[in-house]
Amino acid sequence: MLHIDKIIQDVRKCKIVPENDIQELCFLAQELLIQESNIQLVDPPVTICGDIHGQLHDLLRLFKISNEPPHTKYLFLGDFVDRGFYSLETFLLLLCYKVRYPDRIFLIRGNHESRQITSVYGFYDECMRKYGSANVWRYCCDVFDYLALGAYILSGASADGGVLCVHGGLSPAIETIDEIRLIDRKQEVPHDGLMCDLLWSDPEENIPAWAVSPRGAGYLFGYTETERFLFKNNLSLIARAHQLVMEGYKEVFDGGLVTVWSAPNYCYRCGNVAAVLTLDDNLNRNYTVFDSMLQDCSEIPSKKPVADYFL
């Protein structure tokens, strides 16, 4: 029998979890996640978190500030792994909470929840270093394929429309939320198409409609397209992550879209603060900004982060 609470205690202390326990945890998580929709319905109040990128100690600080699960309901917008030194522990902790409290924590897929990206930007190497094989990495990548592509937050107490949450942004090929529900999400993130756009696209204030993204995947989208999507889908807000914001969060397009970033001092050197967005029962917004967790030098491995990638 899997002891979830013990795994939670161990990963919080950065202790190695037996490979067999990780395999069983990943299977349990898949059984839960497969029951969720591509766009998972989440009732408010909820706290929305952006990229974490393996910064375990900052995730623990986030939980300390906003309360531990299950006391607070959380929605994480992807990019749990890569860049930071504790990607595995970060992802395992979130999976444990998902299995332990399935209705109090929701995880959606980011562009880094991908075999190709994690092979280059840290997570694969971390698993190899800690376990001497790629098995644990494969178990986690299999879970990635089951993660939802977004979430929809709706309040019966608010007449202003719901909130759509995705990792990246919009797609020129998607006009309605229902179209996202028809995507076959159980696959590696493709290089183009609807699923790719949701995970890779970015808002851009200086363009009227659509433009090619400099990332090499997804699109840039402007005010007009955002307003059109909000109106057509009766939305008051699109909440997304995916881009470093030095102030922790940034609202654009007359408050119709917000970027939330939850990895303070990203890559242990960017100097940014982080934030989470809490929506109350009426979908009123409250941002909590926090700094990086001060860590003992012995807690950070000497291995340097990999090369810059789309900061």
- Angstrom CA distances, 47 to 130, 192, 282, stand at 32, 30, 13
Closest CA to 298 of 57, 83, 74, 66: 57
Strands 162-165 vs 150-153: parallel, antiparallel or unpaired: antiparallel
Q: Which residue has the tokens 């000497």?
A: 302
3-state helix, strand, coil in the chain (%, to 5): 35, 20, 50
Buried b (16+ CB within 10 A) or exposed e, 92-106: bbbbbbbbbbbeebb
* 88's tokens: 């595995």
Strand ranges of the sheet holding 274-279, from the earlier edge strand across to the other edge: 105-107, 74-76, 46-49, 274-279, 285-290
Catalytic residue among 53, 57, 112, 242: 112
Closest CA to 305 of 273, 246, 260, 263: 263
**167 given a catalytic annotation:** no
Max Cα-Cα span within the chain = 56
Number of neighbours of residue 250 by Cβ within 10 angstroms: 15
- Which active-site residues does the annotation give? 112
